[in-house]
Structure 1
Amino acid sequence: MSCSTESIDTAPPVDEDDCEPLVPSKTVPPRCCSARLNLAVLMFLGLTVVYGLRVNLNVAMVAMVNNTNPPPATNSSNSSKHMCPLPGTNHTRTGFSQPDGAPVYSWDTETQGWLLGALFFGYLCTLIPGGYLAGHYGGTKFLGFGVLGTAALTLVTPLAAQWGPSWLFALRALEGFTQGVLHPSTMTIWARWAPPLERSRLMSFSGSGGIFGALLTLPLTSFICETLGWPAVFYLCGAGCVWAVFWFALVSDDPHTHKRISKEEREYIIKSIGPQGHGWTVPLRSMVTSLPLWAIIIGQICANWGFYTLLNSTTAYMSNILHYDLESNGILSALPYLGGWLLSSLSGVVADLLIERRVFSVTVTRKIFTALGNKNPVGCSHIWTVLFLTLSTTTGGACYAGVYMNLIDIAPRYSGFLLGVSLTFASISGAVAPIADSLDGWRRVFWLAAGIQTSGAVFYTIFSSGNLQKWAMTDEDRGEAEKRRTRSMCT
């Protein structure tokens, strides 16, 4: 199919995958030190803080309940079904010591599972209203206060744990409540800031802050637990409040109101994106019957199931099944996120290049990266298990250039609200994805995650789209689409 040489100033075609609008490279302002790049960096750091605050309990939990359960009986004929043999190195779990004064609790596996999933019960409450309100009142406010609130609440974690698991559960749920507005807010912000041909790289880079937060926090938490005691983890992580000062001082909801953006960059972004009004009414009936939207929702549910299974379970699996000590646990649990962070950032650049050079359409590009990102393992080989966990999370980073940003392709003006809807379904996995206490149980956990991810990738590949949907078009979009049809009929 041949393509016209239309400018990116006009709305993209609704049903023409192969005709992606381009913009001459000479009209693109430099990205270095630009307002849009500064926004991406600050958003990256904000998500780094939040995900650090989200996963610190995963590692600290090993120290908080250390030595409360008796070691498994090695002479049992069925022990191989429950635990793996020791790795045969000096990194085995031979007892853990931390500074005096750090309390230790007798929480069983079920209690630990509830505490690790508690955050998502609050998280689910604010995803949809957060996305809806961010579209009207500005995503920067909701994102800033979300990070600030989470950091402030983290400071009282040791006190809540001292009061009992019910108090800690309530605190973690409240932290989730403050975090629910974050991702819908980022989508709303980028709907007004990310030019279509830079969308993949800007959103992938900023979104990879979540993976980087886990990468940084997992080994750092284990080190702090051993040197300062686990309560210090939450006191130090609470310093994320400082980030909010820079965020509120340096960012703006859209290019129109930014005080330090250049005139060239402002005009480039506004012309590239076009008008992005946010009406109070939402076309719910059209959304419910939109198959491309359901493809994204189901794709995100399945991708997040695997992500949250690994996020919540890796440290427990390393400790209880593979017998790694806390220091090794933190380092090895972080390895998967190193690969995921690198690939998520790289995938955004590659996706933009594929679209810009017309190698693939937006639709095909999103499908390719989503298919690459949905892979998942488990066994007793320490080397192979760590390797497969690393490869699984690494390939998962490709989803950032696929299903995770597809909403802004099909419905930019409703992207924040719709991301809240899709993440509401997708984040249920964070609350219900199980952890186990035996090798057979862990095999079922990981195989379930692998099956769900594969099914989601297949459904998404068949039914997804990268085209702007008719129900998401503005009046200006409809006018441009009608002009395009008229020109094509005349030629």
Structure 2
Amino acid sequence: MAPQDLDSENQETDPKRDNGGLPGMFSAVRWRVAVCGFFGILVSQTFRVSFTVGVSCMVGSHSMLQENLTTLPVPGHGYQRTWNTSWNGNFSGIVETNSTEIQGEFQWDKKAQATLLSAYFYGYLVSQVPGGWLSRRYGTRWVVAIAMMVAMACTALTPICARTHMYLLFAIRVILGAVQGTFFPSLFNMAVRWVPPLETARFVAVVIAGFPIGQVVTFPVSGLLCQYGFDRGWGSIFYVFALTSLVWIVAWLYTVYDTPLQHPRISKAEREYIMARIARIESKQDQRKMAPWCSILASPPVWGTALGYFGIDWVNNTFSLGIILYMGEVLKFKITSSGIIGSLPPIVYFISSMFVGCLSDFILKKKALSRVNTRRLFQTLSFMPMGILMAATGFVTKEHASLAVAFLVISQMFFGLSRAGFLISVMDFAPRFAGEISGVLNIFGTMTGLFVPLAIGTLTPNGTQAEWRTIFLIGGGVAIIGAVGFCIFARGEVQLWAKVREVNPEMEIMVDEKTDKREQKTSA
């Protein structure tokens, strides 16, 4: 059969068509898969964020928390950035506690604490692309399950490693970051095999919502375990979250399969509904092939999406670090991570991302806009206001310091709108390689975590409002460039290098059997 574009607009079935016997949204297997993905992201967040609280309990009054440090959780693409309010060029995650003298089990200095807190990200960065390839080659189900098993073991071993040697703790945190770095690209590969195009934004919004909710849940639970738990409090944090992940692994393996064709409990009506709309079946031979990186790197929509990743991470880094430092140095106002202020940004982000997922799919279902113009619309509605809010922050005076907090919270509402913009566009133009490309772009965005602190350290030597205004104007400009660049380069159709040919699953099985027999004869 000749190769053909199976992801074109013509392949989408009329949304008004009668789908007799099709289960509702809450009973459909594909939405159970989405919910399971949500809890998987949430559990992965507990592994990462809980260490932030754990360190403060492990070192007690020797923690950086006792040195006027604070944190403000701001959602990103799979990780959270938290910052030192007396910034010295390095970044570190912390949670504020009271000033009561607490005797910790360990005597780690600030440099050692910062090193341990950053260990996770060394592993996280290097596993993005391999994670995307592995899940495309072997399937998301087992790649994610095995990664979670390793992450569970690393978390459970954290107290033992900490009490053995700090270097061993560092190593296990790097390993944890490496296995969890496979989650983000793997879930994109899962989505393109399970989600009809008219449900993409909702599906991704549900799964990605695990990031902000994981942050909101983990901080208070970890704090309670630190104070009232067993094994000196801090040890119970890691044991409890490791046990929680075991429950999730069982649920994941029971609920999730790589494709609707493989799922033993999906209804015939739902299976046919999904396959009639996605029809993205790769032959096993195609799955073994490496992604065409030369074509990918020369593709305009890839670079348009890269501008989106870079812009959103630059804005988030500038807000999460810049707001805290700006309010301390210029506005003489302190934000703490305790109370409602610290929880508002991720909650607002969660609400807006869920809303925009439904709205985006509704627009596509009604054919009010084309797919690419829908993505452009929400990219613009997200990035433009964020850029304006960031630029305006530089003009906030000491008398109106609370405005800076308001701008941060409101920016997270607009941040959520981007879930229907650049983030899912790769599933439009390159669904076959969505995992690998998303992994590369996530690295591209993550690198702003190095550039933003460097820019702040260089451009604000005296901490004056004029110097900080430059920082916020740069951030606003980057956001606007991200919006304009994406709108110019975005594409809604599958690119030539990403097209797949249609393969009959039954014929594919027959071919595999014949191949196995030939291989057996050859080996004999």
Instruction: Give the alignment's TM-score, normalised by structure 2.
Output: 0.74
**Aligned residues of 2:59 and 2:104 also touching (Cα < 8 A):** no
The reply on whether 1:428 has 2:447 as its aligned counterpart is yes
The reply on whether 1:95 has 2:78 as its aligned counterpart is no
Partner of residue 413 from structure 1, selected from 432, 436, 452: 432
Partner of residue 15 from structure 2, selected from 1, 4, 23: 23
Shift of 1:132: 1.2
Q: 1:53 to 1:390 in 2, by over 3 A?
A: farther
Partner of residue 251 from structure 1, selected from 256, 259, 263: 256
**Aligned residues of 1:276 and 1:412 also touching (Cα < 8 A):** no
Indicate the residue corresponding to 2:303 in structure 1: 294
| More moved, 427-436 vs 356-365 | 427-436
Cα separation, 2, equivalents of 1:309 and 1:225: 31
Indicate the residue corresponding to 2:241 in structure 1: 237
SS in 2 for 1:27: coil
Shift of 1:231: 3.9
Instruction: Give the alignment's TM-score, normalised by structure 1.
Output: 0.78
- The C-alpha deviation readout for 1:40-91, integer Å capped at 9, x for no partner, is 110000001112222233444555566447868xxxxxxxx979xxxxxxxx
SS in 1 for 2:453: coil
The reply on whether 1:452 has 2:478 as its aligned counterpart is yes
SS in 2 for 1:335: helix
Cα separation, 2, equivalents of 1:148 and 1:322: 43
Indicate the residue corresponding to 1:220 in structure 2: 221
Shift of 1:10: 8.3
Letter in 1 for 2:108: Y
Q: 1:147 to 1:310 in 2, by over 3 A?
A: farther
Partner of residue 367 from structure 2, selected from 342, 358, 363: 358
Q: Which runs of 5+ in 2 are unaligned?
A: 69-84, 88-95, 504-524
Cα separation, 1, equivalents of 2:471 and 2:100: 27
Which residues in structure 2 correspond to 1:3-42 (within 5 Å)? 11-13=6-8, 22-27=14-19, 29=22, 30-42=24-36
Cα separation, 1, equivalents of 2:59 and 2:483: 37
- The C-alpha deviation readout for 1:87-119, integer Å capped at 9, x for no partner, is xxxxx9751456x665463215xx555444332
Indicate the residue corresponding to 2:489 in structure 1: 463
Cα separation, 2, equivalents of 1:312 and 1:116: 16
Indicate the residue corresponding to 2:508 in structure 1: none
Cα separation, 2, equivalents of 1:387 and 1:210: 22
Letter in 2 for 1:475: R
The reply on whether 1:398 has 2:399 as its aligned counterpart is no
Tell me how large the CA RMSD over aligned residues is: 3.7
Letter in 1 for 2:484: V
- The C-alpha deviation readout for 1:297-342, integer Å capped at 9, x for no partner, is 23113223444666789899999985566644xx432221001111
Q: 1:468 to 1:130 in 2, by over 3 A?
A: same
- The C-alpha deviation readout for 1:201-243, integer Å capped at 9, x for no partner, is 1111112111211122233333444444444333322222321
What is the number of equivalent residue pairs in this alignment?
445
Indicate the residue corresponding to 2:41 in structure 1: 47
Higher relative contact order (CA 8 A, sep 6+): 1
Cα separation, 2, equivalents of 1:389 and 1:105: 33
**Aligned residues of 2:309 and 2:422 also touching (Cα < 8 A):** yes
Q: 1:44 to 1:462 in 2, by over 3 A?
A: same
Cα separation, 1, equivalents of 2:327 and 2:478: 23
Indicate the residue corresponding to 1:155 in structure 2: 156
Shift of 1:291: 0.4
The reply on whether 1:373 has 2:382 as its aligned counterpart is yes
Letter in 2 for 1:26: D
Indicate the residue corresponding to 1:481 in structure 2: none
- The C-alpha deviation readout for 1:129-155, integer Å capped at 9, x for no partner, is 221121121011112222232232123
Indicate the residue corresponding to 2:407 in structure 1: 388
Cα separation, 2, equivalents of 1:423 and 1:397: 17
Cα separation, 1, equivalents of 2:425 and 2:437: 11
**Aligned residues of 2:426 and 2:434 also touching (Cα < 8 A):** yes
Cα separation, 2, equivalents of 1:350 and 1:368: 12
**Aligned residues of 2:129 and 2:437 also touching (Cα < 8 A):** yes
Which residues in structure 2 correspond to 1:323-338 (within 5 Å)? 323=334, 327-328=338-339, 331-338=340-347
Shift of 1:343: 1.0
Q: Which runs of 5+ in 1 are unaligned?
A: 1-8, 73-80, 84-91, 478-491
Partner of residue 273 from structure 2, selected from 268, 272, 284: 268
Percentage of matched positions with identical amino acids? 28
Indicate the residue corresponding to 2:79 in structure 1: none
Indicate the residue corresponding to 1:191 in structure 2: 192
**Aligned residues of 1:117 and 1:432 also touching (Cα < 8 A):** no
Indicate the residue corresponding to 2:312 in structure 1: 303
Letter in 2 for 1:440: G
| More moved, 163-172 vs 288-297 | 163-172
